[in-house]
């Protein structure tokens, strides 16, 4: 069993693999049909443009970095232990273009077995992304509720997500963690907890759940986040 399936990670691959290796998490990078990226030869990459897909391989978790990868992932949920609910068509909700909508919100979220936790949140204002510091306003509170409700509606149970909400109420999603090479805006980090959960998930599932809930409690409530020092 492979810990983590990475679909079309592109330029994020090298930094991710380095972080995963430190945490003793094994991985498989997959390039889906029609995609191309020159990965370093040191990385373990399966290119589906030239190689067959192994339908017998099981993965503990999976992340897809673009729409092609996300659609592929929706079709192999039976090969992923921590999968998202199958038989729900999420295609129209996947974001395909750069999101730059004035007063649009972006919530970075981590979900584990249906429990959603805010990692951080931003608003696009004056042509730039700004961290949302005041988490008591309806702008933030209602946005969190809308983001969580959306994830439940489209069957997102596990893994990282970026939920984008336009002022009109339209919601779209990208099922990836925030760029790990960018400085964190909060005390919560995807790579702080997810690799550890993967080491426990199959052999010690109860311990994994306890570890996740302890992480949430240690870093604040599920619907708020603690700002990184200096912010």
Question: Could you state, in order of their start, the residue ranges of all structural domains in the chain?
Answer: 2-86, 104-218
pLDDT for 166: 96
Q: How many whole angstroms separate alpha carbon 150 and alpha carbon 44? A: 34
Q: Is residue 117 scored above 90 in pLDDT?
A: yes
What's the CATH code, domain 104-218? 3.30.470
pLDDT at 180: 77
Q: pLDDT tens digits, residue range 180-223?
A: 777 788 999 999 999 999 999 999 999 999 999 999 999 889 99
pLDDT above 90 for 96: no
Reported as a single tens digit per residue, the pLDDT across 20-76 is 988 889 999 999 998 889 999 989 899 999 999 999 999 999 999 999 899 999 999
pLDDT: which is higher, 211 or 230: 211
Mean pLDDT for 117-145 is 96
Q: What is the mean pLDDT of the segment spanning 136-153?
A: 97
Quick one: pLDDT at residue 47?
94
Q: Which pLDDT score is estimated for 5?
A: 97
Which pTM does this prediction carry?
0.94
| CATH match for 2-86 among 3.40.1000, 1.20.140, 3.40.50, 3.30.70 | 3.40.50
Rounded mean pLDDT, 142-147: 97
Q: Are residues 108 and 179 in contact, defined by beta-carbon separation less than 8 angstroms? A: no
pLDDT at position 163 = 98
Mean pLDDT of the chain: 93
């Amino acid at each position: 069993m492979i810990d983590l399936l990475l679909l079309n990670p592109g330029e994020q691959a090298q930094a991710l693999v380095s972080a995963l290796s430190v945490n003793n998490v094994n991985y498989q990078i997959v390039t889906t049909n029609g995609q191309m990226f020159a990965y370093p030869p040191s990385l373990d990459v399966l290119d589906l443009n030239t190689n067959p897909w192994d339908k017998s391989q099981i993965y503990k978790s999976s992340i897809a970095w673009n729409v092609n990868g996300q659609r592929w992932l929706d079709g192999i949920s039976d090969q992923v232990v921590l999968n998202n609910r199958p038989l729900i068509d999420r295609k129209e909700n996947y974001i395909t273009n750069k999101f730059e909508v004035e007063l649009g919100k972006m919530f970075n979220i981590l979900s584990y077995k249906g429990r959603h936790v805010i990692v951080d949140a931003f608003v696009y204002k004056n042509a730039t992304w700004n961290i949302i510091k005041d988490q008591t306003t309806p702008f933030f509170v209602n946005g969190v509720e809308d983001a969580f409700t959306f994830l439940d509606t489209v069957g997102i149970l596990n893994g990282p997500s970026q939920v984008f909400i336009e002022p009109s109420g339209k919601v779209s999603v990208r099922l990836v963690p925030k760029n790990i090479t960018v400085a964190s805006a909060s005390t919560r980090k995807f790579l702080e907890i997810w690799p550890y959960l993967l080491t426990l998930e199959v052999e010690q599932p109860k311990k994994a759940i306890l570890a996740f809930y302890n992480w949430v409690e240690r870093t604040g409530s599920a619907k708020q986040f603690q700002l990184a020092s200096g912010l």
